[in-house]
Amino acid sequence: MDEASKPGSTPSAPPSVFPGQIATEPPPSVSLGMLSGQPMGAKPNPFDQATHPMLQGEATSAGLGGIGAANPFRWKQFWLGLILPILIVASVTMLAASVENNRWDTMYHEETLSLSPDENGHFAQPFEIQEGHAMEYCWFDMAAPGGQPELYCLVDGWGSANSISIMQEIEYVPTIHSIQFNLEEGNGTFSLSFNGSFGVSPYLYGSIYSESGNILTSLESNDLVRGNTSYLNATFAPQNESTTVYLIIDFGGISERLEIYNCGDSYSQGQTECPNEQENHALIVSSYEWRTGEKIGEYSPDNATVWFVPNGTFNETFRLSLETYDEASERQITFMEEAISASFCCMPLIYVGAIITAFVRGNKGLGWGLISSGAVSAFLMVALIAFVIAAFTGGF
């Protein structure tokens, strides 16, 4: 028995791996397997568990991640994002135009009546309003000729009663009266006098022209001398040709206007007669305020007849236009218009949200397509505006 195995003896330290010797050879190599996908040698497991290969699988190219391979740029999504917004905007625009056209095609109805006087000077013609329609508007297409007070009509209760009142303006009696008008080309003088009271300073504008179109002198408010009889005088260089006076005096306080114009110029608008003619000029006094009228006729669904008896003698045929609307169609079209307007307001938010969602979900093709659609639309809009401006300014 050696000393180490004796009882009570202390065991000696284990011998060194390299007991005082210097290694002259490299340690034996350990095989770690192969990188070719073949089974690799397994190192024994000291815990008696199943052995596992230390390295296995194939080499992967550096820098290529799973995201890039799973979300490539898809051109189909790009073209979808480019075209779809334009189609949506165009479709909604066409729908809005169709709704607006239906407004006039289905909601409104207009009928024009031709009314001629009978032997007693009375005007009458039957008219029946359509079922479900309400009176909207009415007007005379022909004004009263020959300086007679004009006729007009009013819808009673804005269509609630489906009846109208036919009115005739109360005859206009001017306050301003022309007394004297004189124009002498050879002496180069012009004078005008008129009477009538007015409380505010009138607005005056006018000029005297030569036959060749040159302005000989301008007429201004400070040239007017006011009083119970007012005067306006002017001088200009003597002419050997005809001269023309164009003058407007507005008396704002009484809503009247005194006018002088040449009977043969464009201002007369082809009038065949020249009222109060002096020196080949027309002198007229008119009112530019809305004058009150008196009722001369009416229409109601009860009698289903339009009739009126004007004051004065009228031998002309009047054209009275009546416009009605379908109340049910109005409510329906109004709802559709509000829905379309709301969709137009929401489109920018939906467009921006679609772009953000596309990039967050990794659909880069769709996102860039949506952005390109907005850029193309903006370019086309600018090009259209430039084309219109160039067309109107003679750029082509």
The CA R_g of the chain, rounded to the nearest whole Å, is: 49
Q: What is the DSSP code (8-state) at residue 278?
A: B
Looking at the chain, the whole-number percentage of residues with pLDDT higher than 90 is 18
Q: Distance between CA 305 and CA 285 in Å, rounded?
A: 38
270-326 pLDDT, tens per residue?
Answer: 455 676 677 788 888 888 877 788 999 999 888 899 999 998 888 888 899 998 888
Buried b (16+ CB within 10 A) or exposed e, 143-156: ebeeebbbbbbbbb
First to last CA, the chain: 124
Is residue 237 within 8 A of residue 187, CB to CB? The reply is no
| pLDDT exceeds 90 at position 189 | yes
Is pLDDT larger for residue 246 or for residue 292?
A: 246
What mean pLDDT is predicted for residues 49-73? Answer: 52
Residue 185 contacts by C-beta under 8 Å, 6 or more apart in sequence? 238, 239, 240, 241, 242, 243
| pLDDT exceeds 80 at position 33 | no
* Reported pTM: 0.45
124-173 pLDDT, tens per residue?
Answer: 999 988 887 888 889 988 655 555 668 899 998 654 578 899 999 888 88
70-85 pLDDT, tens per residue?
Answer: 567 888 888 888 888 8
pLDDT at position 53, please? 52
Is residue 141 within 8 A of residue 158, CB to CB? The reply is no
Residue 182 contacts by C-beta under 8 Å, 6 or more apart in sequence? 189, 190, 191, 192, 278, 279
